[in-house]
Amino acid sequence: MRILFLGDVVGRPGRQAVTEELPRLRARWKLDCVVINAENAAGGFGITEAICDELLGAGADALTLGNHSFDQREALVFIERQDRLVRPANYPAGTPGRGATLVETAQGARVLVVSVMGRLFMDAMDDPFGAVERALSDCPLGAAADAIVVDMHAEATSEKQAMGVFCDGRASLVVGTHTHVPTGDHRIMPGGTAYMSDAGMCGDYDSVLGMAKDEPLRRFLQKTPGARLEVASGPGALSGIAVETDPRTGLATKVAPVRIGPHLDETKPVFWD
């Protein structure tokens, strides 16, 4: 099975990169499943229903979120009826939405998409490892799921790598998000799970995390209130990871980074292109 995961979509440049490129990539690479982290899709903060529909319409099978899940409050409502939108599984009980969803591909394969948030240097959430354990137990790879994608939305590389080790052999892919910087450590771990510490962002890389550079820099230099953070306005790039899985086991057989667009060294999966 061919899976593409794209990292945090940041504002209009990120959305445009997705809507312009994804339909073509989906066809050219014969993708079975596309998952996109969309926590910054609406002006850098959260997601609206219109944007959710736009990204699903462009070819995503499921969208994941993170610490910005509910920055747009309408997400608290429409997430209940949108079962392709997944917020971190380790939000407190009672939080609207779901932490995992089982997507059926056009070929009839079942892909479990799990979202979870780290805790190191981040807000106090429930235990991410326990939350993932439950998701994997409820819908095991090779049994109830033909592939499993875990989006580990976290700051610290230690916690992300630990989640990779924790899931190795039990998921198709563990991929980090949140830092908005793609990492070059894509690999297949000993147990057969593909791993990359961060998928990077879909957005304008001539920026600080996708936002126009001046105000973030100013905040490091001065400690006085300044302007709002605005999405950088240059053209966006796509960033993520491509994984091919063995349909019998759901484990990864090939993995490659995907980086297409301005400011990034272009890289594509040679095994598909």
Of the CA atoms within 13 Å of residue 62, those in its CB half-sphere come to 30
* The binder of its own copies chosen from 43, 58, 84, 96 (CB under 8 A): 96
Find out whether 54 is annotated in a ligand binding site: no
Q: Which residues bind Fe ion (CB under 5 A)?
A: 8, 39-40, 66-67, 178
Q: Cβ contacts of residue 108 below 8 Å, gap of 6+?
A: none
In a 3-state reduction of DSSP, which class is residue 167? helix
Q: Cβ contacts of residue 93 below 8 Å, gap of 6+?
A: none
Nearest approach in angstroms of CB 60 to Fe ion is: 16
State how far the alpha carbon of 79 is from the alpha carbons of 48, 59, 64, 99, 232, in Å.
Answer: 10, 19, 11, 11, 27
Q: Which partner, Fe ion, its own copies, none, binds residue 40 by CB below 5 to 8 Å per kind? A: Fe ion
Which residue bears the tokens 């240059």?
A: 234
Residue 68: active-site member: yes
> Which string of x and - marks every residue 31-70 that binds its own copies (by CB under 8 A)?
---------------------------------------x
Q: Is 73 in the site for its own copies (CB under 8 A)?
A: yes
Nearest approach in angstroms of CB 8 to Fe ion is: 4
Query: Which lies closer to its own copies via its Cβ, residue 28 or residue 187?
Result: 187
Q: Is 91 in the site for its own copies (CB under 8 A)?
A: yes
Binders of its own copies in range 218-247 (CB under 8 A)? 220-225, 239
What span, in angstroms and rounded, lies between the C-alpha atoms of 241 and 21?
Answer: 15
Nearest approach in angstroms of CB 214 to its own copies is: 9
Q: Cβ contacts of residue 124 below 8 Å, gap of 6+?
A: none
Q: Which partner, its own copies, Fe ion, none, binds residue 222 by CB below 5 to 8 Å per kind? A: its own copies
Order of strands across the sheet with 187-188?
100-104, 110-117, 147-153, 173-177, 194-196, 187-188
Find out whether 39 is annotated in a ligand binding site: yes
Q: Where are the alpha helices (DSSP H) in 193-266?
A: 214-221
Q: Is 127 in the site for its own copies (CB under 8 A)?
A: yes
Q: Which partner, Fe ion, its own copies, none, binds residue 186 by CB below 5 to 8 Å per kind? A: its own copies
Instruction: Enter the tokens of residue 72.
Output: 């747009």
Of the CA atoms within 13 Å of residue 3, those in its CB half-sphere come to 38
Find out whether 186 is annotated in a ligand binding site: no
Q: Which amino acid is residue 66, in one-letter code?
A: G
In a 3-state reduction of DSSP, which class is residue 117? strand
Q: Can you say which residues are annotated as belonging to the binding site for Fe cation?
A: 8, 39-40, 67, 153, 178, 180
Active centre residues (catalytic) = 68
Binding footprint of its own copies on the chain (CB under 8 A): 70-71, 73, 76, 91-96, 119-121, 123-127, 129-130, 155-159, 161-162, 165-166, 179-187, 189-190, 197-198, 200, 205-209, 213, 216-217, 220-225, 239, 256-257, 259, 263-265, 267
